Amino acid sequence: MTNYHDQGEGFPALFLHGSGPGVSAWANWRLVLAPLAQRMRVIAPDMAGFGCTERRADVRYDMETWVAQALGLMDALGIERADVVGNSFGGA
């Protein structure tokens, strides 16, 4: 299960956080989500192994996993296209 923040309406933008101790979508994006949500839909997930998204022992944490997670979240939310904004690890 992916923990995520979803605010606003309009064309969606997916915000991917960086990595490091204690990192989460909220830690990286909390100051910009509300202002941007006034003009667009903003979605900021906690990527697998970070924040409030569970860290399972049977999952390999690599780019393939995180890409599949982001695409799976978009599918679950009915989003076909979105702008992507990344910070550090999230922009790799």
**Interior/surface letters 19-49, b for 16+ CB within 10 angstroms, e for the rest:** eeeebbbeebbeeebeebbeeebbbbbbbbe
Q: What is the rounded distance in angstroms from the CA atom of residue 47 to the CA atom of residue 83?
A: 17
Task: Give the model confidence (pLDDT) of 8-53 as tens digits.
Answer: 999 999 999 988 878 899 999 999 999 999 999 999 999 999 999 9
pTM for the model stands at: 0.90
pLDDT for 1? 86
Task: Give the model confidence (pLDDT) of 41-85 as tens digits.
Answer: 999 999 999 999 988 899 898 999 999 999 999 999 999 999 999
Kindly tell me if the per-residue pLDDT of 92 is higher than 70: no
Domains in the chain, ordered, with CATH?
4-91 (3.40.50.1820)
